[in-house]
Amino acid sequence: MNQGNSNTIDISTEICGIKFPSCIMNASGVRCTTLEELIAIKNSKAGAIVTKSITKELIIGNPEPRYYDFGLGSINSTGLANPGVVKAKEILYELRYKGNCIDYSKPLIVSLAGMHFMDFILMIEFLKDLEVDMFELNVSCPNIIGNKRLLAYDLLGLENVLSSVTSYVHELCKKGFKAKIGLKLPPYQPYEIEEVAKMIKRYRIDFITTINSGFGLVIDKQKTAIKPNKGRGGLGGSCIKPIALANIQQFHELLDIPIIGVGGISTEEDIFEHILCGASAVQIGTYFQRYGTYVFEWLENDLKRFMAMKRYKSINDFRGKLKNYE
């Protein structure tokens, strides 16, 4: 096989029985709030449509400037800015349906953010008739000023969310509800991953997305690069890739569920490394913000050429097959 055979390479994937035409999709957070932004993703080469994290009520977000690209990555403190679940449903209805013709061209992943288990339950209840493929519960946004502790780091609070939400979803499934439930997780230390993995097994979560933004501060000309929270915010981009890979690898060792890898992807080799560590698909954030929807086509073509050079026909040929140093 040579680079001329790249058109025969299959980069599709399957997550929770749902077929994705490409393993590359957008990450919740950037360019995925308005109807126009979601349509652009829908019409691109992205393998799915992932929404901005939705909350019960409208959130204006933190003051500008709240996003800064510094080459090696980005820092943001958007503060979960979104139109709220009522307006979001209107947007998603227009996106999902064309007149009386249902469009299932790509899986729809709806990201939800809440501070309490009832937030998630009420939003799933309100959106359940949209035939969403997957709900990604964002318990790890680092940019809520005044929020003392993320749910993802409060293991008792996280268990309360998982217990309540999975119990509610189990009852919905008896009535034909089919959406899969996943968690968007922050960077963890190894001992934390072990505890969270046990919890995920206990409550039978369908998939995880890891990692959400790290936490840091960027200085630009002796000033903080962003305004909110004294310049502290969520780190994304190339600088967090090693942390993402370590989290993916350990969760893959401990869990038998699909993992969507996110963190530091800007090249085909970055995608390869995420999948090598155990991811079934990847999400793009900083690079997508930087260049727009064309990144999905670029990365797809580059990944196919890379796989052809390595003599891999599909991502299943190397997924989770990272070797230890000998």
Cα–Cα distance, 226 to 145 (Å, whole number)? 14
Which residues, 6+ apart, have CB-to-CB distance to 296 below 8 Å?
Answer: 22, 24, 25, 26, 44, 45, 46, 47, 284
Which residues, 6+ apart, have CB-to-CB distance to 215 below 8 Å?
Answer: 142, 232, 233, 234, 235
Q: Which of 32, 141, 239, 277 is catalytic?
A: 141
Q: Where are the beta strands (DSSP E) in 120-169?
A: 134-138
Q: Per-residue b/e over 12-48, b at no fewer than 16 CB within 10 Å?
A: ebebbebebbbbbbbbbbbbbbeeebbebbbebbbbb
Instruction: Based on DSSP, count helices (H) and strands (E) in the chain, helices before strands.
Output: 9, 18
Cα–Cα distance, 46 to 169 (Å, whole number)? 28
Cα–Cα distance, 174 to 211 (Å, whole number)? 32
Instruction: List phi, psi (to 5°) of 4.
Output: -70, -15
Work out the number of other CB atoms within 10 angstroms of the CB of residue 105: 9
Query: Terminus-to-terminus CA distance in the chain, angstroms?
Result: 28
Cα–Cα distance, 74 to 225 (Å, whole number)? 10
Instruction: List phi, psi (to 5°) of 272.
Output: -55, -45
DSSP, residue by residue, 159-219 = HHHHHHHHHHHHHHHTTT---EEEEEE----HHHHHHHHHHHHHHT--EEEE---EEEE-E
Whether 173 sits among the annotated catalytic residues: the reply is no
Q: Which residues are catalytic?
A: 141
